[in-house]
Structure 1
């Protein structure tokens, strides 16, 4: 079977997405892809989400932060950004997503919006709620372990 001529091939854009969650979150590529499809389906309907052809190309999630590259059809970038923004949890774990940018190639997306901009995370004990508790500190934000869950705070909340 021959390949299609270049002018008939589908054109793609690559959306760089940063993902943030609690320090103990475990998110994998398969569950992210599934929840992304559900998010697009809920927002745009089945035919609308099929037009986007959302597909996770690259996935990395280490602890509280991660990076994802999502492939989308060239003419559907705005609707894809809306579907990505509607993603608020993955398999019951709350997440925050942010579109870092859009590129025409995977390589350009990796160079511009992904890479070693990882946040430094430090674990320490803090005084919170009248008790000494374990916390994860990253870039001025503090995730405090409270009764098996996490509470978000800033450095100013701890003083």
Structure 2
């Protein structure tokens, strides 16, 4: 079978996605891909999700923080961004999904948005809501263990 001429081949854009969840959760590419396709199908329908594509090309995740590169057809980036915004959880873990940026090549997407410096994660004691509590600190974000539940804060919210 012959290849399509260059002007008939699909044009792709690559969406850099940030994924945040509890530091003790481990996620894999398959679970994120499944949630993305499920969200796209629910929001865009079968034909719309097939047009947008939404294939996870790159995925990395560690210590509650991850990055992914998702492929989209050039004219369907906005519907794919809307589908990404519909993701509330990946697997059983509540997750926060953010769009870091869009690029025309995988390499440019990784260089601009994915390969930034990662914050070291450490567990330490902080004062939150007037009491000393255990927290996982990564950069300027904290996940505080508060009376059997998890509260999220920034370093400005604690002492």
TM-score by length of 1: 0.90
Deviation at 1:146, TM superposition (A): 4.2
**SS of the residue 2:98 aligns to:** strand
Structure-1 residue corresponding to 2:53: 53
Q: In structure 1, the residue corresponding to 2:118 is in which secondary structure? A: coil
Runs of 4+ more than 3 Å apart:
127-133, 146-149, 154-159
The range that moved more, 113-122 or 102-111, is 113-122
Partner of 2:36: 36
1:103 aligns with 103
Alignment match, 1:114: 114
Alpha-carbon distance between aligned partners in 2 of 1:59 and 1:44, rounded to the nearest angstrom: 23
- 1:7 is aligned to 7
In the alignment, the residues of structure 2 paired with residue 15 and residue 143 of structure 1 have an alpha-carbon distance, to the nearest angstrom, of 27
Matched residue, 2:20: 20
2-structure distance, mates of 1:158, 1:147: 16
Counterpart Cα distance in 2 of 1:139 and 1:43: 34
Alpha-carbon distance in 2 for matches of 1:13, 1:155: 35
Which SS does the other structure have where 2:79 is aligned? Answer: helix
Give the match's secondary structure for 2:111: helix
1:113 alignment partner, SS class: helix
Structure 1 regions of 5+ residues with no counterpart? none
> Tell me, what secondary structure is at the counterpart of 1:54?
strand
CA RMSD of aligned residues (A): 1.8
Q: How many residue pairs are counted as aligned between the two chains?
A: 159
TM-score after normalising by structure 2 = 0.90
Could you tell which deviates more after superposition, 89-98 or 130-139?
130-139
* Separation of aligned partners in 2, 1:59 and 1:140: 23
Shift of 1:150: 2.2
The SS at the match of 1:26 is coil
Deviations 1:49-91 (A, max 9, x none): 1111110000000111111000011110111111111111111
For structure 2, the 5+ residue unaligned runs are: none
